[in-house]
């Protein structure tokens, strides 16, 4: 079994099967760097299929690094609206500004310099270096982990530890086409070596795969169960307008416009007979009671808003979901 052929097989598969993702449609090196930067920020904790329409909308408004760097932060947040984790947008804007001022609009080629930029950690820095600068890094995302777990048939917690998986990455060797190679491996994980029902007859790695030989495709994960938090939202209506506030209470919703709400315990949630909605975030499940009130209410930092003015504010998706759940808004 000649492992030296692994890069060649993977790249051959990629050249014939890669997806036409919008950040791969590039004309210049500068555009390649910028598209990589934006897409990597958006892909943090967010699925590819979710990111694509947001990326297209964002790039249409901010087509290059300079346009993003000089943009008003609230405008940037508005075009990030619906994607969640708004700190990513703020950090992306800060990074763009630093790149223009300190790096002449270019992405650093040094790992530590990249990691020093706002919002860029170990994984994102390696992704950027491999994809934008053709450096020989293979980022360890969920897709790459899954391939390694199946190739080596890793079945216990010690075997699937991050340290062991990083060591096992040497299986892939290297390629002069480092940018394509890193994307190719992740692409195989996403399209072929899927969590369930892998398409082994199309995989270039079956020759080396212990899971394929034993027909044992189950994956052991270290994923922690998402926390479930319970909230009570108050809906105060005055004519056709609703009382909203600019959140200062919850860090994960900082400065976003929400209905007045408090965190409650599970018992209170279960006992309530009011309308309820569930919101699934990548790191949390939110269970929200909706209390509709017709009495007048004044709250510090509160203001009245109707749907026609929604576009003037940055609204998290669950604020819109609460609004749309109200009977007269359906």
What does DSSP assign to residue 226? P
Give the CA count within 13 Å in the CB-facing half-sphere of 93.
18
User: Using an 8 Å Cβ cutoff, are 313 and 305 in contact?
Assistant: yes
Tokens 């082994």 belong to which residue?
Answer: 200
User: How far apart are the C-alpha atoms of 82 and 79, rounded to whole Å?
Assistant: 9
Chain CA centroid to CA 264, Å? 28
Partnered with residue 124 across adjacent β-strands are: none
The two three-digit tokens of residue 267, written as one number: 């018992």
Residue 236 in 3-state DSSP? strand
What does DSSP assign to residue 71? S
User: How far apart are the C-alpha atoms of 314 and 305, rounded to whole Å?
Assistant: 12
User: Using an 8 Å Cβ cutoff, are 44 and 88 in contact?
Assistant: yes
What does DSSP assign to residue 314? -
Partnered with residue 12 across adjacent β-strands are: none
Residue 311 in 3-state DSSP? helix
Of these residues, 40, 81, 145, 187, which one is catalytic?
40
User: Using an 8 Å Cβ cutoff, are 88 and 42 in contact?
Assistant: yes
Question: Counting beta carbons within 10 angstroms of the beta carbon of residue 48, is it exposed (0 to 12), middle (13 to 18) or buried (19 or more)?
Answer: middle
167 is catalytic: no
Query: How many residues does the structure list for the chain?
Result: 330
Give the E-state strand segments of the chain in sequence order. 227-238, 241-246, 257-258, 261-264, 275-280, 284-293, 302-305
User: Using an 8 Å Cβ cutoff, are 310 and 223 in contact?
Assistant: no
Question: Counting beta carbons within 10 angstroms of the beta carbon of residue 72, is it exposed (0 to 12), middle (13 to 18) or buried (19 or more)?
Answer: exposed
Catalytic residues: 40
């Amino acid at each position: 079994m000649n492992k030296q052929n692994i890069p060649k097989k993977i790249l051959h598969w990629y050249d014939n099967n890669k997806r036409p993702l919008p950040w791969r449609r590039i004309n210049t090196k500068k555009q390649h760097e910028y598209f990589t930067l934006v897409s990597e920020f958006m892909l943090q904790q967010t699925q590819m299929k979710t990111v694509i329409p947001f990326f297209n909308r964002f790039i249409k408004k901010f087509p290059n690094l300079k346009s993003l760097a000089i943009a008003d932060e609230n405008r940037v947040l508005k075009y990030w609206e619906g994607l969640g984790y708004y700190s990513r947008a703020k950090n992306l804007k800060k990074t763009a500004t630093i790149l223009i001022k300190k790096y002449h609009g270019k992405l650093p080629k040094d790992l530590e310099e990249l990691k020093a930029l706002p919002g860029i950690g170990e994984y994102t820095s390696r992704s950027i270096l491999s994809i934008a600068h053709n450096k020989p890094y293979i980022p360890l995302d969920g897709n790459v982990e899954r391939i390694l777990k199946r190739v080596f048939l890793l079945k216990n917690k010690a075997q699937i530890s991050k340290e062991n998986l990083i060591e096992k990455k040497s299986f892939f060797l290297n390629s002069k086409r480092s940018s394509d190679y890193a994307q190719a491996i992740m692409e195989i994980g996403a399209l072929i070596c899927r969590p369930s029902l892998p398409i082994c007859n199309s995989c270039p790695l079956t020759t080396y795969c212990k899971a394929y030989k034993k027909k044992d495709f189950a994956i052991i994960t270290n994923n922690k169960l998402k926390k479930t938090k319970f909230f009570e939202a108050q809906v105060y209506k005055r004519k056709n307008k609703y009382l909203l506030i600019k959140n200062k209470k919850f860090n994960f919703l900082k400065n976003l416009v929400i209905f007045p709400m408090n965190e409650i315990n599970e018992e209170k949630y279960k006992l309530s007979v009011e309308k309820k909605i569930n919101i699934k975030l990548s790191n949390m499940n939110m269970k929200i009671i909706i209390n509709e009130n017709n009495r007048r209410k004044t709250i510090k930092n509160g203001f009245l808003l109707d749907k026609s003015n929604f576009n003037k504010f940055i609204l998290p998706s669950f604020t819109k979901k609460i609004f749309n759940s109200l009977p007269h808004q359906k």
